[in-house]
Structure 1
Amino acid sequence: MGTRRTTLPGVGTQYDVTTRAGRHLSVVVHQDGRRFLGFYGAEDPDSCQVSIPLEGDEAAVLARLLDPTPLEAVHTEGIGLVTEQIPVNSRSPYAGRLLGDTRARTRTGASIVAVMRRTSAHPSPGPDFRLAIGDTLVVVGTREGVDALAAIVAGE
């Protein structure tokens, strides 16, 4: 498998991946944070067949799905707890609001143990921590509690 990083002046950075099977895909990360996933034909590796724009939270979910290590490390079999990362997207009723407004622990029994932000991590955030679009909540609880918290954050 081959990878290549190319700086695109005035645009951002392009990351190209060629699989062992010879398939070519790229991720373009724009300076403003937009991301595009591009797929190329085997017969013409320079011709992009499909380009899919991804919002920040969508890119984060895709990255977690592609990396099996966090998924394997997340489940704590035998003790009844799971750890998951829950994105705060633009449709969340809690984007821009205080963490305490979620009443997460009271409503679900699950705990938000950290908030990952684009440029930093915030371990053990207090109720006065203000959530932002693109944040990722690191949550620990029972399967039911974590699922309930994910639904609350998603506004379901």
Structure 2
Amino acid sequence: MSARVEQRALPGIGVCQDVVTRKGRRIGVLTHRDGHRELVVYDVDDPDAASDTIPLNSDEANALAELLGAPQLVRHLAELQQQVVGVLTEQLPILDGSRFAGRALGDTQARTRTGASIVAVLRQGEVIASPGPSFVFNPGDMMVVVGTREGIDGVAGILRGEED
């Protein structure tokens, strides 16, 4: 199962993006309104409290992203997102057994049904930018979805088979 990145706005502070590891540890990146970032490691006993934060300058953040395999496009979308209020970017997986594995992007009708756009697909370390409606998903693909909170949640629901 692929990890889901959760994002939340922190009014007056910036945006925090978190992920929960397989072993239940929560880590995140806090991007302040002025652009500086902090790596956040959450407390084991209180997942809402940070046990440690590590300030990162732009070069350090980019180096860490490269070490973790973040493609340039995803990073650019995250930076753009900070400038556009109400528009979010999330990565949603095509899991093994998904009804959309082996099917075309157009079959999801995601944009028509939710208003959110699938702007890229990450596949085995490669970025497929602006996939067309005939693009066929593979299990393990990670869709980069841009839209409102409701739109992204709608795409996630479609992938889970909740939206028919």
What is residue 155 of structure 2 aligned with on the other side?
Answer: 149
Instruction: Measure the CA separation in 1 of the matches of 2:124 and 2:20.
Output: 16
Aligned length: 99
Alignment of 1:66 with 2:72, yes or no, is no
Q: If you compute each CA radius of gyration, which structure gives the higher value, 1 or 2? A: 1
Instruction: Measure the CA separation in 2 of the matches of 1:97 and 1:66.
Output: 33
8 Å Cα contact 1:91/1:154 also seen in 2: no
Identity %: 48
What does residue range 87-106 of structure 1 map to in structure 2 within 5 Å?
87-106=93-112
Residues 124 and 59 (structure 1 numbering): CA distance in 2 closer, same or farther, change over 3 Å? Answer: closer
Query: Structure 1 or 2: larger strand share?
Result: 1
Q: Which blocks of at least 5 consecutive residues in structure 1 are unaligned?
A: 1-54
CA shift at 1:155, angstroms?
A: 1.9
Identify the match of residue 122 of structure 2 among 110, 113, 116: 116
Instruction: Measure the CA separation in 1 of the matches of 2:4 and 2:88.
Output: 22
8 Å Cα contact 1:116/1:137 also seen in 2: yes
Deviations, residues 45-66 of structure 1 (Å, cap 9, x unaligned): xxxxxxxxxx4x2499656x63
TM-score normalised by structure 1 residue count? 0.54
Instruction: Measure the CA separation in 1 of the matches of 2:30 and 2:140.
Output: 22
Residues 128 and 67 (structure 1 numbering): CA distance in 2 closer, same or farther, change over 3 Å? Answer: same
Instruction: Measure the CA separation in 2 of the matches of 1:59 and 1:138.
Output: 11
CA shift at 1:92, angstroms?
A: 1.9
CA shift at 1:80, angstroms?
A: 1.4
8 Å Cα contact 1:89/1:154 also seen in 2: no
Instruction: Measure the CA separation in 2 of the matches of 1:85 and 1:141.
Output: 12
Instruction: Measure the CA separation in 1 of the matches of 2:118 and 2:149.
Output: 14
Deviations, residues 86-138 of structure 1 (Å, cap 9, x unaligned): 01101321111000100110000000000001131100000010001100000
8 Å Cα contact 1:88/1:136 also seen in 2: yes
8 Å Cα contact 1:99/1:128 also seen in 2: yes
What is residue 142 of structure 2 aligned with on the other side?
Answer: 136
Q: Which blocks of at least 5 consecutive residues in structure 2 are unaligned?
A: 6-18, 32-36, 38-77
Instruction: Measure the CA separation in 2 of the matches of 1:92 and 1:135.
Output: 11
What is residue 83 of structure 1 aligned with on the other side?
Answer: 89
CA shift at 1:76, angstroms?
A: 4.0
